[in-house]
Amino acid sequence: METVGTRPSGGQRKGPAHRLTRRQDVGALVGEAAGSPLRRTMGVGQLTLLSVGATLGTGIFVVLGEAVPEAGPAIVVSFLLAGVTALFSALSYAELAGMIPGSGSSYSYTYATLGELVAWVCGWCLILEYGVSVAAVAVGWGQYVNELLELTAGVSLPETLSAPPGLGGTLNIPAALIVVLAMVVLLRGARESAVANTIMVAVKIAALVMFCAVAFTAFRAGNFQPLFPLGAAGMSAGAASLFFSYIGFDAASTAGEEAKNPQRDLPRAILLSLFLVTTLYVLVALAALGAMPWREFEGTEATLSEVLVQAVGGGSLWPILLSAGAVIATTSVVLTVQYGQIRILFAMSRDGLVPPLFAKVHPRTGVPRANTVIVSSFIAVLAALVPLGSLADATSIGTLFAFMLVNLAVVLLRRRSPDTPRSFRVPFAPVTPLLGVGFCAYMLFSLGSDTWIAFGVWMAVGLLIYGTYGIRHSKLGKEAAE
């Protein structure tokens, strides 16, 4: 497969330092996306549902129960704080996605602004964001399958086969199974995957609306007094944990080469999906805390189905319906986020930073087949072996770091390429993207030290791979040498 015009931008110095700071030309990136072998089948509706599908899942169905003890009733404010943080980055994503409509998402934006080394770091963060979050969602899927079995048949899967090592099990078989099933759907093609996602998104929105309607019948305003029992620090910690719930709104930006009209539709899809998701999250949090006092969440990791059991009783049909909706909801997230991970690696492979196998597209389906199988196999193993909490925090730190780079890219491209066409412009730039950087930094430092240590190890591994493979095989570097 031929790569179109990946030349370094003009005026850069040559030498050892240049190898790390060489940048891709924005016009070349646009031309490369235009000549992509991927098939353009998605309109604005499917792109919006892709982002909603990637976002709306385990974060609200499972992680809410883990985050409530950190913030108490202020978890509603935590959702808003996390949503505002995501909004600043969403505006930056909208501008850059309309300007550079490729599959690389923030990796490509960073390559055009901050250079190859930082682009690699961003791409490595995206691998952490997408790959690890799929594994986390798959673990949540297994929890809801077990809950559905208990509510309907009074049985559950053996713990040794449904929990990872360290939590009483040997392998989380359900979590690995859903990743493999998503791989089968993805291998059929982008159009088929989009249709399946559309159906699942409709089901999970209906499930959350049903939860709100039922839970509000048991609403008690006294459950919100005091609103900040654990102070502002608790609210911030809750927001940092819940930021995991917003990961995925940028999924549409990974479909730039499969969108029919990417310059117009990608910004709309990104912003519309974030608005829909934030509205649902706040309503669900209000309903959950109104129906179940926050202290009863402590030590339980309560799911939304358990909240309904307390609100309306165990013999009701509603918790069963919600559990079924949660199984479908998390299936959608696994499918769409797995899709995004594969497209990120596709873009990195096309640039030579990872092996060319990841960029090979099957001529009949238009899908990077080997990429899909390799990524899905890795994620399935991760989902089978690692607990949810560790996965969620690791995902948040990788995402926040990538979002900071996207906001910086907007500021730099406004200065370096002011005349390049933009179908959407971030309002009040550079103030808005710089606020995005600040909010992301604030959330980053609300995460625990263990998460930072794990992130440092991940970055060290990534830099080792770049130093031994990426810098030597970079297509941009080879063209510069020629």
DSSP characters over 277-299: HHHHHHHHHHHHHHHS-GGGGTT
Return the minimum-mean-pLDDT range out of 89-93, 299-303, 338-342, 438-442.
299-303
Tell me which DSSP letter residue 300 carries: T
CA torsion 367→30→124→433, rounded to 10°?
Answer: -130
Per-residue pLDDT band at 127 (split at 50, 70, 90): confident
Residues in the chain: 482
Domain residue ranges in the chain: 42-474
Amino acid at 123: G
Burial of 175 (0-12, 13-18, 19+ CB in 10 A): buried
- The residue among 375, 364, 366 whose CA lies nearest residue 340 is 375
Residue 300 confidence (pLDDT): 59
- CB atoms closer than 10 angstroms to residue 393: 23
Quote the CA–CA distance of 71 and 91 in Å, as a whole number. 27
Residues 6+ positions from 111 with CB-CB distance below 8 Å: 23, 24, 29, 104, 119, 351
Q: Rounded mean pLDDT of 276-301?
A: 85
The number of angstroms, rounded, from the C-alpha of 131 to the middle of its chain's C-alpha atoms is 9
- The residue among 396, 401, 336 whose CA lies nearest residue 138 is 336
Residue 9 confidence (pLDDT): 47
Report whether 364 contacts 341 (CB < 8 A).
no
* DSSP three-state, residue 293: coil
Burial of 40 (0-12, 13-18, 19+ CB in 10 A): middle
Residue 13 confidence (pLDDT): 46
Residue 190 confidence (pLDDT): 78
User: Given a cut of 90, is residue 28 above it in pLDDT?
Assistant: no
Report whether 391 contacts 135 (CB < 8 A).
yes
Quote the CA–CA distance of 241 and 457 in Å, as a whole number. 20
Q: Tell me the average pLDDT of the chain.
A: 84
CATH of 42-474 among 1.20.1740.10, 1.20.140.10, 3.40.50.10310, 3.40.50.10880: 1.20.1740.10
Residue 62 confidence (pLDDT): 65
Q: Residue 172's beta-bridge partner residues?
A: 162
Residue 301 confidence (pLDDT): 59
- CB atoms closer than 10 angstroms to residue 184: 10
pLDDT digit string, tens, across residues 325-336: 888 888 888 888
pLDDT digit string, tens, across residues 157-216: 888 887 777 667 788 888 899 999 999 999 988 788 888 889 999 998 998 999 899 889
* DSSP three-state, residue 42: strand
The number of angstroms, rounded, from the C-alpha of 216 to the middle of its chain's C-alpha atoms is 29
Quote the CA–CA distance of 39 and 42 in Å, as a whole number. 9
| DSSP string covering 359-423 | G---TTT-S-HHHHHHHHHHHHHHHHHS-HHHHHHHHHHHHHHHHHHHHHHHHHHHHH-TTS--S
CA angle 55, 60, 66 (to 5 degrees): 130
Q: Which residues of 71-108 are buried (b: 16+ CB within 10 A; e: fewer)?
A: bbbbbbbbbbbbbebbbbbbbbbbbbbbbbbbbbbbbb
User: Given a cut of 90, is residue 152 above it in pLDDT?
Assistant: no
Per-residue pLDDT band at 6 (split at 50, 70, 90): very low
Per-residue pLDDT band at 141 (split at 50, 70, 90): confident
User: Given a cut of 70, is residue 14 above it in pLDDT?
Assistant: no
Structure tokens belonging to residue 273 = 């999906």
Residue 392 confidence (pLDDT): 63
Report whether 68 contacts 364 (CB < 8 A).
no
Residue 10 confidence (pLDDT): 43
User: Given a cut of 60, is residue 35 above it in pLDDT?
Assistant: yes
pLDDT digit string, tens, across residues 402-444: 889 999 999 999 998 888 888 999 999 899 999 999 988 888 8
Per-residue pLDDT band at 465 (split at 50, 70, 90): very high
Q: Rounded mean pLDDT of 285-294?
A: 90
Q: pTM of this prediction? A: 0.82
Report whether 78 contacts 300 (CB < 8 A).
no
CA torsion 434→437→441→447, rounded to 10°?
Answer: 140
- CB atoms closer than 10 angstroms to residue 43: 14
pLDDT digit string, tens, across residues 41-65: 889 999 999 899 888 876 677 667 7
Residue 5 confidence (pLDDT): 36
C-alpha atoms less than 13 angstroms from C-alpha of 419 in its C-beta half-sphere: 0
Amino acid at 316: S
Structure tokens belonging to residue 430 = 């550079």
Tell me which DSSP letter residue 24 carries: B
Q: Which residue has the higher pLDDT, 383 or 390?
A: 383
Q: Which residue has the higher pLDDT, 49 or 9?
A: 49
